Every structure is written in C-alpha cells, then in structure tokens.
Amino acid sequence: MARWDKDSEPTIPGWFFEAVETEVAENTVEIEECDVVYRTWPHDASAARDMLLIHGMYAHSHWWDFIAPGLTDKYRVTAMDLTGMGDSDYRYEYDSITFAHEIVGVCDAAGLADDVIIVAHSFGGAMAVKAVNLYPDRFGALILVDSGIRHPDDPLPETLRMGGRAKAYPDKRTAELRFRLQPPQPCENQYIVEYIGRNSVMAVDGGWAWKFDEDLVTTGNRDLERQPEDFTGLMIPIGEIYGADSELFSRRTLEYMRELVPRVFPAVEVENAQHHVFLDQPLAFIDVLREMAEQF
C-alpha cells in the first residue's frame, strides 16, 4: 500500500500497515502443467508448526496479508493461489482432485511438515476437505472458516448464484473501485476491502480485469460441490470458525456438520462478522484462530 495512503487515512490502524508491509517470499510450483503461486511469511525462530492458508472462490493469497503476520510468532505461515484465481495459471477444466493435488503440491514444495494445519475459507475449505479425504496422512488438522455443508433442506441464497462474463475496465483505478465482496455484504473495515481490491486486478488486452478465470464456474466439474461423504470421511482433527451473521453458514449448518463428521470438533462463532469473517473482525479472528490451532 502506497505511503500516501497511510498519510491520508489516519483512521486506518497501525497494525494493518505493519502487517501488509511485511516482506513475503513468493514462489511457484508446477502441478499438472500449471504454475501454482504460493507465498511464505518470515517467522520467529521459535515457530514450531506449519500452517497453510487457502482463500475462497475468486479470491487469492493476498486476502491473508493482514492476517498471516499475526500468526508468525508460533507458525510458519504459507498461503497459496488455487489455479484459476490470483496469480496462478488458468486451466481448461477444474475439478476437486486437481485442486487437492495443488494443495498437497504446495505443501511439498514449501517443505511443510505432515502435521501442517490447513486454514481454509469458503470454497477453499471445500477443496481442503477433498484434499484431506484423499491424503489424510499429509495433514495434521483442518480449520474451516465459514465453510461447511448446507443442510439439504436449506435453499441456496440467491446472492451465491455467481457467474457471467468478466468485464474489462479502461484503467486500474476504475477496476479497483468496482471491487465488491461475493456474496455481497457490507464491511465496516473499508480499508481492508480497498486493499484487497488493489491486489485483485491485472492488466489484460483492452484494459484491466479481475484476477480470476471468468470460465471457472462454467468449466468446473460437479465434484466441486460439497457432498455429505466428504465430511463423513474426515479422519483428522477439524475445527470451524464462522461469522454470527453469515448468510452462508448457520447454526443449522453446524448441527448438520456435527451429524456427519465422525469426531467431536470445536466451533467458534465470531460476533459482528459475516461470511468474510476475517475482513469483518480481523483481530478477533486472529485470536480465535490461534486459540483453536493450539488445540491440535
């Protein structure tokens, strides 16, 4: 974030600037003919456990820039861009097995231990569940963030029906100003939304566009959808952090998950937070995540 932004926005807290200005090492690993980008934060020498952060649909690893530095005293933190999103390559088709291979591939390339804790938001959580089912011995624990499986009797919210063609904007600033959260929700921390927006655009022929494959939804296989057997098969420790006001995760969702998952797991409801929990309540989220991770 440019220095003039800091000088002109005195209401933005200092911890945020310190976090997003942390230098991050960026690397790529080739997985099934596509480059997958991952980023690793510097950590304290006493950090003893690996943690991999995975973003939601249409998002990318920069969504964790203001969260990761709050964890590096105890964890060696890495975040990745799933293909079709962020700075990773696009594919002709997308499926859960390939996304699972990407998650494992990043763990291997980054040298993450077999007890790595996966922290995954929304769609990223669904793909992490798929990976854990396929490779249960590769992970130590899974913490889902506003990510689960909807009760079969609950209707799908209209605001979740995303798709359509991406639009090219004439310049970068115009594109940044058009950034919106999906599903739509207000966020009192507008400086966080603006920061993510600035890191969500790329130059294309004819202007600027979002950093995601506009064909991601239409070329994705049906196995990207959550299935009950994905959760009945979970054999490693898991946890859930969700927004009290989330449109996509409810207490009924949690109850249904508890019926499916074969072991008891901790769950924390974050007050005054919606689907994008760590945007709405970043410091509270860090505290909850640290406390939950200590249990595994």
pLDDT of 265 reads 97
Q: Does 4 reside within a domain?
A: no
pLDDT of 153 reads 84
Contact 112, 239 (CB under 8 A): no
pLDDT of 4 reads 40
pLDDT of 1 reads 46
Please choose, from the candidates 239, 234, 220, 237, the residue with its C-alpha nearest in 3D space to the C-alpha of residue 288: 239
Q: Does 138 reside within a domain?
A: yes
pLDDT of 56 reads 96
- Calpha distance 140→103 (Å, rounded): 14
Q: Does 87 reside within a domain?
A: yes
How open is the CA angle 266-228-127, to the nearest 5 degrees? 75
- Could you tell me the maximum CA-CA distance found in the chain, to the nearest angstrom? 52
What is the mean pLDDT of each successive set of 10 residues along the chain, which is 296 residues long? 49 95 97 98 92 97 98 97 97 95 98 98 97 97 96 70 61 87 91 96 88 83 84 96 95 96 97 98 98 96
Contact 148, 253 (CB under 8 A): yes
Q: Does 179 reside within a domain?
A: no
Q: Does 160 reside within a domain?
A: no
Q: Does 175 reside within a domain?
A: no
CATH number at residue 102: 3.40.50.1820
**Residue 46: which domain range?**
13-154+215-293
- Phi and psi at residue 137, in whole multiples of 5°? -85, -5
Residue-wise burial string across 76-109, b where 16 or more C-beta atoms lie within 10 A, e elsewhere: bbbbbbbbbbbbbbebeebbbebbbbbbbbbbeb
pLDDT of 5 reads 54
pLDDT of 158 reads 58
pLDDT of 233 reads 92
Q: Does 123 reside within a domain?
A: yes
The count of structural domains within the chain is: 1
Q: Does 261 reside within a domain?
A: yes
pLDDT of 205 reads 85
Please choose, from the candidates 49, 31, 53, the residue with its C-alpha nearest in 3D space to the C-alpha of residue 40: 53
Contact 230, 220 (CB under 8 A): no
- Calpha distance 101→138 (Å, rounded): 11
- Calpha distance 162→172 (Å, rounded): 23
